[in-house]
A = this chain, B = another copy of it.
Amino acid sequence: MAEYFKGIGQVKYEGSTSKNPLAFKHYNADEKVGDKTMKEHLRFAVAWWHTFSALGADMFGDGTLERPWLAAADPVQQAKDMADAAFEFMDKIGIDYFCFHDRDLVAEAPSLKETNERLDEIAAYIKDKMKASGKKLLWGTSNLTGNSRFMHGAATNPNAEVFAFAAAKVQKALSITKDLNGEGYVFWGGREGYETLLNTDMGLELGNLARFLGLAVGYADKIGFKGHFYIEPKPKEPTKHQYDFDVAAGYAFLQKYGLLNKFKFNIETNHATLAGHTVQHELHYARVNGILGSVDANQGDMLLGWYTDIFPTDVYGTTMMMIEILRNGGLPGGLNFDAKVRRGSFKTDDLFYGHIAGMDCFAKSLKAAHGLLESRELDDFLEKRYESWKTGVGAEIVQGKATLEGLAEYALAHDSPKSESGRQELLESIVMRYLYA
């Protein structure tokens, strides 16, 4: 078996002052942070698509990335070589999980039947490698955007035949996910939306999307798949407008169609910002509504209006994420690096630099967030800030004992309530202290 990352050994933790570009400065897998190790807290996953199968093409240029494992002409051999590279990479970088779309694993064949056969062969190959290495599948999914037949959507296609074809793909991907002991299954509805409302029947399409998800749940029950289902919101791109715009839109949808108990959300940083939210907002909103599932870890360029999927290096931002994740008691899912090296970073070792940057970024953030929460500096502030809801008129309101007219009388008797400072600058200074102490 070829070694694809020659000259690179196991990436090790060397501490924050190490100048070794192939060492971790903050991520120390077995170091305890609170009662769990970093590895247990962070549950990193490698994304098959960005890291192994993508070639770096963009809308204005051809692929640039050197990916020697894609050299084979035979698609199944190519897929096996890619799996070899993937397991070598996961081993050397020290990441235990991976995620895939069906189409990443092996190129589609002319017929669905033959594609499925290819998938079976490569899935078996991967299964063996998982057994040998102990690597695990965080989640699987099916690509329902790439083939031209999905130009008008998959579950929301105007053509029922395409819906059926998409269903077949999900059936296969779900079945493979189950077979590989996947811990989750994700739906990202990249073309489940519209280009123009002039040609769109949104009511029917939303209903069909719900039916599609319901069919997948039914099939999962039948085959005994116990993993989590996740919806991954994104506001737009490739479509002009996607139905799963953000967590709130997905939450409204799940409630309307009675799917709430079956799904949580896979929240991506770059998708959050494209929707006009911080990722912290999306995580917080999901957390307080009990629907926080997994995370696609990356960062967007805030001045660009399309997905850039940069490896995270904004420690402030990831610290805000870790606060939410720790307050959630961790994630049912994990932190999947849905991140890509820039197309100008075309060497294979750039994949290491990207992942090391991202892992160190989250490790530093984990420690900062943990320290901050342990200190209770934020919690004590919040407790005091909201204390009026524990007694008196506040408690009555919360307990449902108030009426509007009763409160009006109360206000007439207690005119001119006083405010306290929100202390935003002070709180931001406190966060800085945990980052730069």
Is A201 in the interface zone, CB < 8 Å from B?
A: yes
Whole-angstrom CA separation of A19 from B433 in the bound complex:
8
Contact check, B344 vs A288: say whether CB atoms are below 8 A apart: no
3 tightest Cβ-Cβ pairs between the two chains A and B: A305-B305, A160-B394, A161-B417
- Inter-chain contact A415/B276, CB cutoff 8 Å: no
Q: Is the CB of A281 within 8 A of B346?
A: no
In the complex where A61-B145, A160-B394, A421-B347 touch, is A167 in contact with B407 (Cβ < 8 A)? yes
Q: Quick one: closest B residue to A64, CB to CB?
A: B148
Q: Which of A74-82, A124-132, A250-258 contacts B (4 or more CB under 8 A)?
A: A250-258
Q: Is A428 an interface residue (CB 8 A)?
A: yes
With A151-B343, A206-B288 known, 19 other A-B pairs at CB within 8 A are A21-B426, A59-B307, A61-B146, A61-B150, A63-B148, A152-B422, A163-B397, A164-B411, A167-B404, A196-B427, A204-B386, A208-B397, A218-B404, A237-B304, A240-B301, A241-B281, A246-B249, A353-B423, A364-B436
> In the complex, what distance in Å separates the CA atom of A25 from the CA atom of B431?
12
The residue that A171 contacts in the complex, of B61, B378, B408, with Cβ under 8 A, is B408
B167, B252, B275, B419: the one contacting A152 at CB < 8 Å is B419
Cβ of A332 under 8 Å from chain B? no
Decide if B357 touches A425 in the complex (CB within 8 Å).
yes
Contacts known (A62-B146, A149-B419); A207 close to B437, Cβ less than 8 A: no
A17 at interface, CB cutoff 8 A: yes
B341 touches A425 (CB 8 A): yes
How long is the Cα–Cα vector from A392 to B160 in the complex, in angstroms? Answer: 9
Q: How far is the CA of A392 from the CA of B159 in the complex (A)?
A: 11
A6 interface contact, C-beta 8 A:
no
Give the residues in chain B near A252, CB-CB below 8 Å.
248-249, 251-252, 255
Q: Give this chain's copy count.
A: 4
Could you tell me the distance between the alpha carbons of A147 and B327 in the complex, rounded to whole angstroms? 34
Task: Name the B residues within 8 Å of A198 (CB-CB).
Answer: 378, 424, 427-428, 431
- Residues of chain B with a CB closer than 8 A to A426's CB: 21, 345, 350, 353
Interface residues of A in 382-421 (CB under 8 A from B): 382, 385-386, 388-389, 392-394, 397-398, 400, 402-405, 407-412, 414-421
Q: Which residue in B59, B208, B248 is a CB contact (below 8 Å) of A249?
A: B248
Given A202-B284, A316-B314, A158-B407 contact (CB < 8 Å): no
Is the C-beta of A30 less than 8 angstroms from some C-beta in chain B? Answer: no
Kindly state whether residue A42 has any CB partner on chain B within 8 Å. no
Q: In the complex, are the beta carbons of B303 and A273 less than 8 A apart?
A: yes
Q: Which of B146, B151, B167 contacts A411 (CB 8 A)?
A: B167
Contacts of A162 in B (CB 8 A): 417, 419
Contact A61–B147 (Cβ < 8 Å): yes
Determine how close the nearest CB of chain B comes to the CB of A117; give it in whole angstroms: 11
A13, CB-defined interface residue at 8 Å: no
Q: How far is the CA of A436 from the CA of B25 in the complex (A)?
A: 9
Closest residue to A165 on the B side, CB-wise?
A: B411
User: For window 256-307 of chain A, which residues contact chain B by CB distance below 8 Å?
Assistant: 256, 273-278, 280-281, 284-285, 288-289, 301-307
Give the complex CA separation of A208 and B430 in angstroms.
28
Residue of B nearest to A382 (CB): B201
Asked if A172 is at the interface of the complex by the 8 Å CB criterion, the answer is yes
B residues less than 8 Å from A255 (CB atoms): 252, 255-256
Residues 355-375 of A contacting B (Cβ, < 8 Å): 356-357, 360-361, 364
Q: Is A71 part of the contact surface with B, judged by Cβ < 8 Å?
A: no
- Report the separation of the CA atoms of residues A428 and B198 in the bound assembly, to the nearest whole angstrom: 8
Closest to A114 in B: B415
| Min CB gap A156→B, angstroms | 11
If A216-B404, A411-B164, A432-B360 touch, whether A424 touches B342 (CB-CB below 8 Å) is: yes
Choose from B240, B285, B346, B410 the contact partner of A419 (Cβ within 8 Å). Answer: B346
Residues of B within 8 A of A423 (CB): 199, 345, 350, 353
In the complex, A179 has a CB within 8 A of chain B: no
